[in-house]
């Protein structure tokens, strides 16, 4: 796997040197970042270059880095699987206009060479995040880009029909942005007197999920792990 990734990386570097920057990726993955101005040129090269031949766009995802690297809790022993709840105030609020807050990530597949590539582009303007639409490169980008617009508010320049696709017609805001409340702004219910569905302010109290914390006691001593109690041992 590592040899194939390095082969792909060498081909990308040979054909797109100076236009992409390699990202630190997990084992078995290869990712690059591209500037917004070079997005269309790079994507056409990834699709049309015989040594690369990324014929398929598998997915497009918006990303909001507003709370990237920040946690609601201050403990290194916390696990990500817990059921307790609480509310912990942050020491400082992140800047919603921070540079590079929004990005778009593309997952590409080459059927010819049987390899994959991740491509990321960061939006230059945080208040009005815009990148070029890739519909003219991969037609399937149409609905993917509408999802990113609907949920993150990212605009795609040149998209022929950029409108919401998952939320309601009158929905306000973008639900996957990190500063959008988990409980939302309004809730919907049927009003028997008006005999129709009505919107009203949300009644759910916002709460922050706090993970289970592993306590340092004898139950977690390495020397005591996997020891079967005497009463459970086979008497034979």
DSSP-derived secondary structure for 161-215: T---SSS-TT--S-TTSTTS-TT-SEEEEEETTTTEEEEEE--SPP-EE---B--
Is the pLDDT score of 67 beyond 90? no
Q: Say whether 62 sits in a helix, a strand or coil.
A: strand
Question: 55, 141 in Cβ contact below 8 A?
Answer: no
Count of Cβ atoms closer than 10 Å to residue 147 Cβ: 18
DSSP secondary structure letter of residue 24: P
**Confidence grade of residue 68 (pLDDT, cut at 50, 70, 90):** confident
Is the pLDDT score of 141 beyond 90? yes
Range 151-175 average pLDDT: 93
Is the pLDDT score of 86 beyond 50? no
What is the per-residue pLDDT for 72?
A: 59
Could you give the CA distance from residue 45 to residue 198 in angstroms, rounded to a whole number?
50
Tell whether pTM > 0.85.
no
> Which carries the bigger pLDDT value, residue 232 or residue 100?
100
Which domains can be identified in the chain, with CATH numbers? 2-232 (3.30.460.80)
Question: 15, 49 in Cβ contact below 8 A?
Answer: yes
What burial letters (b/e) apply to 77-86, b meaning 16+ CB within 10 Å?
ebeeeeeeee
Please return the burial class of 53, using the count of CB atoms within 10 Å of its CB with bins 0-12, 13-18 and 19+. Answer: middle
| pLDDT tens digits, one per residue of 179-210 | 998 888 888 889 999 999 888 888 877 666 66
Q: Say whether 107 sits in a helix, a strand or coil.
A: strand
């Amino acid at each position: 796997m590592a040899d194939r990734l390095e082969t792909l990386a060498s081909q990308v570097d040979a054909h797109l040197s100076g236009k992409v920057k390699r990202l630190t990726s997990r084992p078995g993955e290869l990712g690059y970042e591209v500037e917004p101005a070079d997005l269309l040129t790079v994507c056409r090269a990834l699709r049309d270059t015989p040594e690369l031949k990324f014929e398929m766009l598998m997915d497009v995802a918006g990303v909001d880095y507003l709370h990237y690297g920040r946690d609601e809790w201050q403990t290194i022993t916390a696990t990500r699987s817990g059921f307790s709840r609480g509310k912990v105030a942050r020491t400082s609020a992140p800047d919603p206009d921070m540079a590079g807050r929004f990005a778009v990530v593309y997952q590409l597949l080459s059927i010819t060479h049987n390899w994959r590539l991740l491509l990321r582009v960061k939006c230059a303007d945080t208040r009005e995040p815009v990148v070029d639409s890739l519909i003219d490169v991969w037609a399937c980008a149409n609905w993917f880009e509408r999802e990113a617009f609907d949920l993150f508010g990212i605009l795609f320049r040149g998209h022929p029909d950029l409108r919401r696709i998952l939320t309601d017609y009158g929905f306000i805001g973008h639900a996957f942005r990190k500063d959008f409340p988990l409980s939302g702004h309004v809730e919907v219910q049927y009003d028997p007197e008006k005999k129709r569905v009505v919107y009203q302010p949300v009644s759910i109290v916002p709460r922050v999920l706090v993970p289970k914390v592993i306590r340092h006691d004898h139950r977690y001593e390495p020397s005591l792990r996997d020891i079967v109690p005497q009463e459970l041992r086979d008497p034979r």
